[in-house]
A and B are shown apart, each in its own frame.
Chain A
Amino acid sequence: MLVAHLDPLASSIFSLMAIASLLLAFVMLGSRWLNNYLYAFAAESWVIAALSAAVGFYGGYPELYLIAILTALFRGLLLPYFIWRIIGRLNVAREIHEILQPSSTLVAGAICVLFALVVSYHIGQSLGLSGTVAVLALTIMLSMKLIGFLMLSVRHEALSQILGLLVLENGIFLGAQILVPGMPTLIEIVILFDLLVVVACFGVLVRYLVTHVGSTSSLDLNKLVG
């Protein structure tokens, strides 16, 4: 178990990076401009890549360097590029009808983090790991999950929803680097490729939305009810 006996420097570096990516998730929550979402997402991916490398270095998992490079390449460059191209095709630069003001969304996000903290605190106690970086990793994993769901439910531009899903995935990936650094590399690589395919599919669907529905806001997707 890596997290149980880490030297203090390593554990502070991990914590710093994990908290930085949580803050970036809040940047996404607090903004209404699609471009800001995208930059925050790209930055978050770079932080996660750096975290992979750090875990690889301190934990002695050389294969994590490969994961770090692939994460930076895929999540940090290719995915943002795909999404940037999708934004370029659309005439939407920001959320237009907000269900919840960005400021209220931030408060809701904070409540999500509190909830995640309570859950992970209990799990940490049950595992005898309280006070370690594992609890923090679990908290951030769960809170990014909840924040992703929050974004999915209060934002309705197609693009915000795609980014919301990517935040969900980023949270899992981040937590996995700290909690289970020994997870087979094959699985992680396949999941990274899978993400590319997912975003490609979203890109195609967004194009269909524009041509066949005439809008990319989920508020206009209201034909099917009951």
Chain B
Amino acid sequence: MTGALLLVMMIAPAVAVAGSLLLRTSRAAETLNLVASVSVFAVAMPLVVLSANGASHYLADYVILDITGAWVILCTAVVYLLASIYSIGYMRLLGEDERLWGFYALFSGFALTILVSSVMNNAGLYWIAIELTTLVSTFLVGFERAAESIEAAWKYIIIISAGISLALLGTVLFYWCGSFVLGPTYDMTWDALLAAAPKMDPALAALSYLLVLVGYGTKVGLAPMHSWLPDAHSESPAPISAMLSGALLNSAMLGIVRYLGIADAAQNTHLARTTLVVFGAFSLLVGALFIVRQNGIKRLMAYSSVEHMGVVALGFGFGGPFGIAGALYHMLNHSLNKSLMFFGAGNMMRSYGSKEIGSIREVWTRFPVQGALWLAGAAAITGAPPFGLFLSELVILRAGFARGYNWAAYVMAVLLIVIFIGFLNHFRIMYFGAKADSGHQLKPISRWCVTPMWLALIPLFVFGVWWPADLWSHFMAAARTLGGAAP
């Protein structure tokens, strides 16, 4: 059953890629991609439920479905579905209709690589899957072919490739660590590494972990390795920004979480957790500073992603049941919320014809419905109740105090308040600020571009007022597998 669902999850986007490449018509590619995303979403839900019964292994142990991986699949599937609906409306506005089939082929391929990376049970193959996500998404980032997009794509691929090569070095060194225990040739599965970890040399394991953390941390966008993120997120088409932010970053975070468990077992708990917490807190700081003084609307969202990945890193770094539950919940909430924010930003960018916050004025009067949705999303992303991120951030804060990282919890609380003020101030100006120009003709926004905003906001609101008990016990099961349930 689980195997069949996993097969559907991988085949659906693969069919969409092949179909887009064969048919070479934009409308067909659009439909194929949408169908693929709906099927992925349909199987993601049962996969999450099934994963609670324990990990299942396939294909000679190269594929694993465990509880954390399934959760990342769900986050990816949600964003993939929303972005697929959104891109039907958005991409038609770009006036590049004859190239769109290529966009959809890459888009489905991008989703496929992210999904595959979440189920890889071999540290080497996981690295390759993450590398593939970069290669595919580079061309999506540069899809608009403007000088800025190409610049962003170039920086993206160079910085990520350099960063990810550190992760490869860390992976090889971890293999070396394991070879002292398991012999020269073994399959580098997560379980094998975890089993070998207690007998690993702590110094070598610490070096390997730090390399892996910096390497995958580059991909997650933890500061100070985040420098590619604002460029790539702001210059890619809006649905791709949402995918980068809501899906890709989580899939790289999954790697860090898995290695964190191994570092824990290798008697490096203190070093491993403290470095992750420091990276998380620093990401929050960088996010806060750049959010307060930001001119670009999509760059604002991008720095907010740096901030939220910092929060997730803090959650996993604190650990314990609260930390892990909060971080996992935060991943899903952030995926939903950031999609909503990027969709709104994309719509505003297209209708006002500018990426500058300074040129967007009177959103409230010109777009009453959409404006309200976007504003609600802005309140949610800054952690205001009654939305999901409020709950998850609160739980992560509690974890910080419970696990003895008081300084980090205080830093987090203060910076979240700074971000709340800074972020919403930009929205105040855009919604209620003085008129800049009046003669500008606004472009209308299609319904395809507004519906996914509703689809993102409603669950976000529901998660804010109601944290289902089943979800909590699911997170507790995840915390047990990640070794965080012990007090």
- Which A residues have a C-beta under 8 Å from some C-beta of B? 1-2, 119, 122-123, 126-127, 141, 145, 148-149, 152, 158, 161, 164-165, 168-169, 171-172, 175-176, 179-184, 187, 190-191, 194, 197-198, 201-202, 204-205, 208-209, 212-214, 218, 221, 223-224, 226
Is A145 a contact partner of B135 (Cβ separation < 8 A)?
A: no
Contact of B150 among A148, A161, A184, A208 (CB under 8 A): A208
Is B184 a contact partner of A182 (Cβ separation < 8 A)?
A: yes
Is A202 a contact partner of B157 (Cβ separation < 8 A)?
A: yes
Residues of chain A within 8 A of B176, CB atoms compared: 179-180
Q: Which residue of B lies closest to A141 (CB)?
A: B169
Residues of chain B within 8 A of A168, CB atoms compared: 162, 165
In residues 114-159 of chain B, which contact A (Cβ within 8 Å)? 122, 124-125, 128, 131-132, 135, 138-139, 142, 145-148, 150-155, 157-158
- State how many angstroms separate the Cβ of B379 from the closest Cβ of chain A: 25
Residues of chain B within 8 A of A122, CB atoms compared: 203
Label chain A's interface by main secondary structure.
Answer: helix
- State how many angstroms separate the Cβ of B132 from the closest Cβ of chain A: 8
Interface string of B180-194 (1 = CB under 8 A from A): 100111111000000
Q: Which residue of B lies closest to A158 (CB)?
A: B154
Is A190 a contact partner of B172 (Cβ separation < 8 A)?
A: no
Residues of chain A within 8 A of B293, CB atoms compared: 226
Residues of chain A within 8 A of B234, CB atoms compared: 224
Is B184 a contact partner of A1 (Cβ separation < 8 A)?
A: yes
Is B147 a contact partner of A145 (Cβ separation < 8 A)?
A: no
A-B contact pairs, 5 of them (CB 8 A): A165-B158, A168-B165, A191-B124, A209-B154, A213-B151
- A221 in contact with B151 given A181-B184, A190-B128, A226-B295 (CB within 8 Å): yes
**Chain A CB within 8 A of B204 CB:** yes
* Known interface pairs A168-B162, A213-B147; 18 further A-B residue pairs with C-beta atoms within 8 A, sorted by A's residue number: A1-B179, A122-B203, A126-B201, A127-B201, A127-B203, A127-B204, A158-B154, A169-B168, A171-B169, A182-B184, A183-B124, A187-B124, A194-B131, A197-B135, A198-B135, A208-B150, A209-B150, A223-B147
Is B128 a contact partner of A123 (Cβ separation < 8 A)?
A: no
Tally chain B residues at the interface, Cβ within 8 Å.
55
Q: Which residue of B lies closest to A195 (CB)?
A: B131
Distance A208 CA – B175 CA, assembled complex (angstroms): 38
Is A224 a contact partner of B230 (Cβ separation < 8 A)?
A: yes
**Chain A CB within 8 A of B207 CB:** yes
The 3 closest A-B pairs by CB, nearest first: A182-B184, A182-B185, A187-B124
Residues of chain A within 8 A of B138, CB atoms compared: 201, 205
Q: Which residue of A lies closest to B149 (CB)?
A: A212
**Chain A CB within 8 A of B274 CB:** no
Distance A171 CA – B207 CA, assembled complex (angstroms): 16
- A152 in contact with B150 given A181-B184, A187-B125 (CB within 8 Å): no
Is B124 a contact partner of A172 (Cβ separation < 8 A)?
A: no
Is B151 a contact partner of A223 (Cβ separation < 8 A)?
A: yes
Label chain B's interface by main secondary structure.
Answer: helix
Distance A197 CA – B207 CA, assembled complex (angstroms): 29
Residues of chain A within 8 A of B294, CB atoms compared: 226
Is A212 a contact partner of B299 (Cβ separation < 8 A)?
A: no
Residues of chain B within 8 A of A171, CB atoms compared: 169
- State how many angstroms separate the Cβ of A75 from the closest Cβ of chain B: 15
Is B204 a contact partner of A123 (Cβ separation < 8 A)?
A: yes
**Chain A CB within 8 A of B461 CB:** no
**Chain A CB within 8 A of B472 CB:** no
Is B179 a contact partner of A182 (Cβ separation < 8 A)?
A: yes
Distance A149 CA – B211 CA, assembled complex (angstroms): 14
- State how many angstroms separate the Cβ of B477 from the closest Cβ of chain A: 31
Distance A153 CA – B175 CA, assembled complex (angstroms): 29
In residues 15-43 of chain B, which contact A (Cβ within 8 Å)? none
Is A212 a contact partner of B147 (Cβ separation < 8 A)?
A: yes
Is A180 a contact partner of B150 (Cβ separation < 8 A)?
A: no
Is B175 a contact partner of A180 (Cβ separation < 8 A)?
A: yes
- State how many angstroms separate the Cβ of A135 from the closest Cβ of chain B: 12
Distance A123 CA – B183 CA, assembled complex (angstroms): 19
- State how many angstroms separate the Cβ of A6 from the closest Cβ of chain B: 13
Residues of chain A within 8 A of B264, CB atoms compared: none
Residues of chain A within 8 A of B125, CB atoms compared: 187, 190
Distance A118 CA – B101 CA, assembled complex (angstroms): 53
Distance A213 CA – B176 CA, assembled complex (angstroms): 44
Q: Which residue of A lies closest to B174 (CB)?
A: A180
Q: Which of B153, B155, B176, B185 has the most CB of A within 10 A?
A: B176
Residues of chain A within 8 A of B145, CB atoms compared: 208, 212
- A226 in contact with B290 given A175-B172, A180-B172, A198-B135 (CB within 8 Å): yes
Distance A201 CA – B136 CA, assembled complex (angstroms): 9
**Chain A CB within 8 A of B296 CB:** yes
**Chain A CB within 8 A of B307 CB:** no
Is A223 a contact partner of B172 (Cβ separation < 8 A)?
A: no
Distance A202 CA – B175 CA, assembled complex (angstroms): 29
Contact of B154 among A123, A190, A221 (CB under 8 A): A221
Distance A141 CA – B168 CA, assembled complex (angstroms): 12
- State how many angstroms separate the Cβ of A83 from the closest Cβ of chain B: 15
**Chain A CB within 8 A of B6 CB:** no
- A172 in contact with B204 given A161-B158, A223-B148 (CB within 8 Å): no
Residues of chain B within 8 A of A119, CB atoms compared: 207
Residues of chain B within 8 A of A209, CB atoms compared: 150, 154
Residues of chain B within 8 A of A212, CB atoms compared: 145-147, 150
- State how many angstroms separate the Cβ of A115 from the closest Cβ of chain B: 13
Q: Which residue of A lies closest to B184 (CB)?
A: A182
Residues of chain B within 8 A of A201, CB atoms compared: 135, 138-139, 157
**Chain A CB within 8 A of B276 CB:** no
- State how many angstroms separate the Cβ of A154 from the closest Cβ of chain B: 14
